[in-house]
């Protein structure tokens, strides 16, 4: 039986500012923005090509805004992903080369942190 992560909560202080960041700067796809009821607004975004989405809004998470640390996305090309982020105004780190991959780091306006990882080439036997 497969167990697949489908949704991760990201705590934000300003829903509309977070929507603008994830849509216009991070380049994620807005899947849903629904007011479910009094005090509950559900917003869902999916990174391009991902099977897992993020959710935020009102009444979605008890975590303090900015407390989600170390979310990671695998990308095919760290340099290209960094260039795309920089081109959309995201303060992205330089590429960090490690034996286990190449990484680019950034944060949303609340300080939730992200890592983009380009996996190393896998040797064939």
Mean pLDDT, the chain, rounded, equals: 96
- C-alpha–C-alpha distance, residues 47 and 22, integer Å: 9
- C-alpha–C-alpha distance, residues 25 and 109, integer Å: 11
Question: Using one digit for the tens of pLDDT, what is the confidence trace for 65-92?
Answer: 999 999 999 999 999 999 999 999 999 9
Question: Using one digit for the tens of pLDDT, what is the confidence trace for 24-57?
Answer: 999 999 999 999 999 999 999 999 999 999 999 9
- Please name the helix (run of DSSP H) or strand (run of DSSP E) that holds residue 81, with its range, or none: helix 78-87
Question: Using one digit for the tens of pLDDT, what is the confidence trace for 91-103?
Answer: 999 999 999 999 9
- pTM of the entire structure? 0.93
Higher pLDDT, 123 or 58: 58
């Amino acid at each position: 039986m497969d167990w697949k992560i489908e949704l991760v909560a990201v705590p934000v202080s300003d829903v509309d500012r977070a929507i603008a960041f994830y849509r216009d700067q991070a380049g994620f796809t807005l899947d849903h923005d629904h007011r479910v009821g009094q005090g509950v607004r559900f917003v869902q975004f999916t990174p391009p090509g991902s099977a897992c989405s993020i959710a935020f809004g009102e009444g979605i998470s008890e975590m303090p805004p900015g407390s989600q640390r170390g979310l990671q996305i695998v990308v095919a090309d760290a340099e290209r992903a960094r260039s795309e982020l920089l081109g959309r105004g995201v303060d992205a780190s330089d590429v960090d080369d490690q034996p286990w991959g190449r990484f680019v780091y950034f944060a949303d306006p609340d300080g939730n942190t992200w890592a983009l990882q380009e996996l190393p080439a896998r040797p064939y036997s």
